[in-house]
Amino acid sequence: MARRRRRWLRRPRGSTEHIAAGVTALAVATLLARATTAGARAAAEHWPVLAALAAAALVGMTVRRVRRGTADRARAARLAALRLSLSGIDALDDQEFEFALRDLLVRDGWTARKVGRQGDQAADVIGQHPALGRIVLQAKDTTVGGKVGSPVMYQVNGTAGPVHGADIAVVVTNGSVTRDAKSWGDKHQVRRVDRERLRLWAEHGVALHELLHLPARRPRRGAGPAARPFRRRHPEAQERPHSAP
């Protein structure tokens, strides 16, 4: 196939082939010149229409940008005033609970996204804060009175830093945490938000970093996933919002 292509693309040989190639090139150049001239004439004759189309396109782009900016500001205002009741949180399913935690992080000034799915390696929500670093939330939506045990703490401790590059690991539940889980978490710096702390965070609007007394830290450089920038998505195109009242 390659040899055949080279045969057809060989240089002209002899005066006859050179004349034929010259005629072909002249014809192509003439067609291009005529097309260019016709386009210029059409543009000159119909410039008001073309100008109107260009103006309409510009107005459309401006309107879309304004609408997007308005939507972003409206969503930011909603999140800034976000308050979720415990009874509303109890009514959420697992996915909605994770979305609610993401929105609470955003309210508190984090850039956050929901990542929970099968095989998520103990990370349901990941957030980034310019002063506090990267946080991983493991959500445990339980029945009222349910308890989170030590195995959850073990799992989060084993993946938060090594897998997700997190500076802060937090287990969040609308239930309670067993005594052994509290003791083990305190020893290994796996923080927890139990039902009472969740009430303060979601209902009363206490910021998570204040609730957990999270220390400010310097950004790490060249330290794996935690050093990479946290890519921000457009808030309306990211994931569906939670449906809690």
In the chain, pLDDT over 90 holds for what percent of residues? Answer: 47
Give the chain as a DSSP string: -HHHHHHHTPPP-HHHHHHHHHHHHHHHHHHHHHHHHHHHHHHHHSHHHHHHHHHHHHHHHHHHHHHHHHHHHHHHHHHHT----HHHHHTS-HHHHHHHHHHHHHHTT-EEEE--STT--S-SEEEEETTTEEEEEEEE---TT-EE-HHHHHHHHHHTTTTT--SEEEEEESSEE-HHHHHHHHHHTEEEE-HHHHIIIIIS---HHHHTTPPP-PPPSS-GGGGS--PPPPTTTSSPPP---
Q: What are phi and psi of 197, to 5 degrees?
A: -70, -35
Same domain, residue pair 106 and 210: yes
Query: Where residue 225 falls among pLDDT bands split at 50, 70, 90?
Result: very low
Give every CB contact of residue 118 below 8 A, 6+ residues apart in sequence. Answer: none
pLDDT at residue 2, as a whole number: 47
Same domain, residue pair 67 and 153: no
Mean local confidence (pLDDT), 102-107: 95
Same domain, residue pair 51 and 100: no
Task: Tell me which residue has tokens 């959850």.
Answer: 152
Query: Where residue 60 falls among pLDDT bands split at 50, 70, 90?
Result: confident
The range of the structural domain enclosing residue 127 comes to: 85-227
Residue 242 resides in a domain: no
Alpha-carbon separation of residue 245 from 86, 114, 175, 236, 239 (angstroms): 10, 19, 19, 19, 18
The pLDDT tens digits of the residues spanning 9-43 come to 567 677 777 777 777 888 888 888 888 887 777 77
Residue 62, pLDDT > 90, answer no
Q: For the chain, how many structural domains are there in total?
A: 2
Same domain, residue pair 21 and 103: no
Residue 22 resides in a domain: yes
Residue that finishes a domain, picked among 21, 41, 75:
75
Same domain, residue pair 99 and 186: yes
The pLDDT tens digits of the residues spanning 180-205 come to 999 999 999 999 999 999 999 999 99
Q: How far apart are CA 163 and CA 132, in angstroms?
A: 19
Higher pLDDT, 15 or 136: 136
Mean local confidence (pLDDT), 109-122: 83
pLDDT at residue 196, as a whole number: 96
Residue that finishes a domain, picked among 75, 97, 127:
75
